A and B are shown apart, each in its own frame.
Chain A
Amino acid sequence: MPQVKKIATRESYGNALKELGAEYPQIVVLDADLAGSTKTAVFQKAFPDRHFDCGIAEADMMGIAAGLATCGKIPFASSFAMFATGRAYEIVRNSIAYPHLNVKIGATHAGISVGEDGASHQCLEDIALMRGLPGMVVMCPSDDVEARKCVRAAVLHDGPVYMRFGRAAVPVINDPDMDFKIGKGTLLREGKDVTIVATGLCVNSAMEAAGILEQQGISAEVIDICTIKPLDEELLLASAAKTKHVVTAEEGWITGGLGSAVAELLSEKLPTRLCRIGVGDRFGESGTMEELIHLFGLDGEGVAAKTAAFVRA
Chain B
Amino acid sequence: MNTLELQKTANEVRKGIVIAVHAAKSGHPGGSLSAAEIFTYLYFEEMNIDPENPKNPDRDRFVLSKGHAAPGLYSVMAERGYFPKEELATLRHLGSRLQGHPCMQYLPGIDMSSGSLGQGISAACGIALAGKIDHRDYRVYTLLGDGECEEGQVWEASMFAGAKKLDNLCVIVDNNNLQIDGKITDVNNPYPLDKKFEAFNFHVINVNDGNNFDELRAAFEEARSTKGMPTAIIAKTLKGKGVSFMEDQAGWHGKAPNDEQFETAMQDLERIGEELCRR
Which 7 A/B pairs are nearest by Cβ-Cβ distance? A67-B126, A63-B122, A71-B130, A60-B156, A67-B123, A64-B126, A57-B156
Q: Is B131 an interface residue (CB 8 A)?
A: yes
**Does A310 sit at the interface, judged by CB under 8 A?**
no
Encode A100-123 as 1/0 by CB contact (under 8 A) with B.
100000000000000000000000
A-side interface residues toward B, CB under 8 Å? 28, 49-50, 52, 54-55, 57, 59-60, 62-73, 75, 90-91, 94-95, 98-100
The answer to whether B130 and A67 touch across the interface, beta carbons within 8 angstroms, is: yes
Q: Whole-angstrom distance from the CB of A135 to the nearest CB of chain B?
A: 10
CB-nearest residue of chain A to B113? A99
| Distance, CA A63 to CA B123, complexed state (A) | 5
In the bound complex, do residue B160 and residue A95 qualify as a contact, i.e. CB atoms below 8 Å apart? no
- Map CB proximity to A onto B96-135 as digits: 1 under 8 Å, 0 otherwise: 0000000111000001110110111111111111110110
Which of A63, A70, A98 interacts with B153 by CB under 8 Å? A63
**How many B residues touch A, CB cutoff 8 Å?**
35
Complex Cα distance, B61 from A90, in Å, reads 23
Contact (A67, B133) CB under 8 Å given A55-B160, A95-B113: no
Chain A residues whose CB sits within 8 angstroms of the CB of B105 once the complex forms: 99-100
B152 to chain A, nearest CB (A): 8
Asked if B160 and A66 make an inter-chain contact with CB atoms under 8 angstroms apart, the answer reads: no
* Contact A70/B104 with A52-B129, A57-B160 known, Cβ cut-off 8 Å: yes
In contact, A68 and B153 (Cβ under 8 angstroms): no
Give the docked Cα–Cα distance between A206 and B265 (Å).
Answer: 69
On whether the beta carbons of A64 and B113 are closer than 8 Å, the reply is no
Please determine whether B160 and A60 come into contact, CB atoms closer than 8 angstroms. yes
Q: CA separation between A63 and B104, bound complex, in Å?
A: 15
Residue B193 is within 8 A (CB to CB) of chain A in the complex: no
CB distance from B121 to the nearest CB of A (A): 8
Distance of A113 Cα from B160 Cα, bound (Å): 32
Q: What separation, in Å, do the CA atoms of A59 and B125 have in the docked complex?
A: 13
Contact of B122 among A28, A66, A72, A100 (CB under 8 A): A66
Give me 8 other A-B pairs in contact (C-beta within 8 A), A63-B125, A99-B103, A99-B105 excluded: A59-B122, A60-B156, A63-B126, A65-B126, A67-B126, A71-B131, A75-B126, A99-B113
Q: How far is the CA of A54 from the CA of B124 in the complex (A)?
A: 14
- Does B157 sit within 8 A of A, measured CB to CB? yes
On chain A, the residues within 8 Å of B133 by CB distance are 28, 49-50, 73
Q: A91-B153, A99-B103, A99-B113 are in contact. Are A60 and B122 (CB under 8 A)?
A: yes
Question: Across the interface, which residues of B come within 8 angstroms of A91, CB to CB?
Answer: 116, 119, 122, 153
CB distance from A100 to the nearest CB of B (A): 6
A67 lies within 8 A of B115 (CB):
no
Majority-rule SS of B interface residues: helix
| Bound form: Cα–Cα A122–B232 in Å | 39
With contact pairs A54-B160, A55-B160, A95-B122 given, residues A68 and B127 touching in the complex (Cβ less than 8 Å): yes
Question: Which residues of chain B have C-beta atoms less than 8 A from A95's C-beta?
Answer: 112-113, 116, 119, 122-123
CB distance from B215 to the nearest CB of A (A): 29
Smallest Cβ-Cβ distance to A88: which chain B residue = B153
Cα of A100 to Cα of B63 in the assembled complex, Å: 17
Q: Does B57 contact A (CB under 8 A)?
A: yes
Assembled-state Cα–Cα distance A50/B133 (Å)? 8
Q: Is B266 an interface residue (CB 8 A)?
A: no
Question: Which residues of chain A are within 8 angstroms of B163 by Cβ–Cβ distance?
Answer: 55
A57-B160, A73-B133, A99-B103 known; A64-B112 Cβ under 8 A: no
Contact B119 A70 (CB under 8 A): no
- Chain B residue numbers with a CB within 8 Å of A94 are 113, 115-116, 119
With known contacts A50-B133, A59-B156, A67–B112 Cβ distance under 8 A: yes
Instruction: List residues of chain B with CB within 8 A of the CB of A100.
Output: 105
Known: A63-B157, A70-B123. A98 touches B113 (CB 8 A): yes
27 contacts between A and B (CB under 8 A): A55-B160, A55-B163, A57-B156, A59-B152, A60-B122, A62-B122, A63-B119, A63-B153, A64-B122, A64-B126, A64-B129, A65-B126, A66-B123, A67-B112, A67-B122, A67-B124, A67-B127, A68-B126, A69-B126, A70-B126, A71-B57, A71-B134, A72-B57, A91-B119, A95-B113, A95-B119, A99-B103
Instruction: Name B118's closest neighbour in chain A (CB-CB).
Output: A59
Nearest CB to that of A63 among chain B residues? B122
| B24 interface hit (Cβ, 8 Å) | no
A57 contacts B129, C-beta separation under 8 Å: no
Residues on B with C-beta less than 8 A from A68 are: 126-127, 129-130
Give complex CA distance A69, B113 in Å: 12
CA distance A66 to B105 in the complex (A): 14
The residue in B57, B118, B133, B164 that gathers the most chain A C-beta atoms within 10 A of its C-beta is: B133
Interface presence of B272 (CB below 8 A):
no
A98 to B134, CA, bound (A): 26
Task: Check if B104 sits within 8 Å of A99, measured CB to CB.
Answer: yes
Q: How far is the CB of B111 from chain A (nearest CB, A)?
A: 6
Which residues on the A side are within 8 Å of B127 (C-beta)? 67-68, 70-71
Q: In the complex, which residues of chain A have a beta carbon less than 8 angstroms from the beta carbon of B152?
A: 59
Judged by a CB distance under 8 angstroms, whether B89 is at the interface is no
Knowing A54-B160, A60-B156, A73-B133, the reply to whether A90 touches B126 (Cβ < 8 A) is no
